[in-house]
Amino acid sequence: MNSTISALELHRSFTSGKTVTRVLRGIDVDVCPGELTLIIGPSGSGKSTLLAILSGLLRPDRGTVRVLDTDLWTLSPPRLDAFRLAHMGFVFQGFNLFPSLTALEQLLVLLRYRGITGRAASARAERALEEVGLAHRKKLRPAELSGGEKQRVAIARALVKQPELLFADEPTSALDGHNGQIVIELLHRIAREHRTTVLGVTHDGRLLKHADRVINVEDGIIVSDERPS
Ligand code: ADP
Ligand code: MG
């Protein structure tokens, strides 16, 4: 099976004043298509840094990242932006929804930005909201939605452009256990049914059983890589 993401020898440090922190210390990883892969590990172990490098948000000091057969970090900044826009969706811990827009409008804004408007846009946005079980909440604004519902709107917004890859950094950490489970199960179903490659970060051990694969990062290296049965 061809990997969707294939990274080799990733290194990344951060410097503040005279202190250099080596955050990633040689990471090799392949991510398979159509799977939900979760990265776990203690706080500060480098999970978000790794996700940011694999998704083209942060440049590694060393190493290569191939995504869909494109060598990410050799692209010029505008080409990298275009690549990310075309192929990747993102979901964050804090949802990042516009407070003044309804659930449906959150999706329409994004489609408009991509040149899709009118009926075609509405149909696509409504389908994405249906997919996350929120068609009946489409006219509500973030303040009227629960945390779990807000994250599901954010997932619908990431899905509406039909990306091959979906990245999620701590998508459940602002949610209670029940809603966290709903969101992870949703991400798993999206991976399976759409053949979307979903790569997430979590520190919630209860969610791991829903993943196809769990990669454990400690102190900037991969210490285990397993498939929960
Ligand atoms: P995790 O997501 O596993 O909690 P991170 O990847 O966010 O870990 O961070 C790993 C380490 O790198 C932490 O010690 C953090 O303080 C440091 N770090 C992350 N981003 C930056 C940055 N932009 N500047 C300086 N240090 C950073
Ligand atoms: Mg983090």
Summarised one tens digit per residue, pLDDT across range 141-156 is: 999 999 999 999 999 9
Q: What's the CA gap between 131 and 187, in Å, rounded? A: 11
Using CA atoms, how far apart are residues 224 and 213, in angstroms rounded to an integer? 10
If you take atom 12 of ligand 1, which residue's CA is the nearest one? Answer: 23
Tokens of 165: 């890859």
Q: What is the pLDDT of residue 97?
A: 94
Question: Which residues pair with residue 168 across a beta bridge?
Answer: 91, 200
- Tokens standing for residue 53: 């490098």
Q: State pTM to two decimals.
A: 0.94
CB 189 within 8 A of CB 196: no
The torsion angles phi and psi of 57, rounded to 5 degrees, stand at -95, -25
Given a cut of 80, is residue 74 above it in pLDDT? yes
Q: How far apart are CA 10 and CA 14, in angstroms?
A: 14
Mean pLDDT rounded to a whole number for the chain: 94
2 — pLDDT class (breaks 50, 70, 90): confident
Per-residue pLDDT tens over the stretch 53-71: 999 999 999 999 999 999 9
User: Residue 40 and residue 57: Cα distance in Å, rounded?
Assistant: 19
Residue nearest to atom 18 of ligand 1 (CA): 14
Is this prediction's ipTM beyond 0.90? yes
The pLDDT score that the predictor gives to residue 205 is: 84
How far apart, in whole angstroms, are the C-alpha atoms of residue 81 and residue 98? Answer: 22
Mutate to test the pocket of ligand 1, among 21, 45, 170 (most ligand atoms within 8 A of CB): 21
Does residue 1 surpass a pLDDT of 70? no
Q: Locate the ligand 1 atom nearest the alpha carbon of residue 45 and give its number.
A: 3
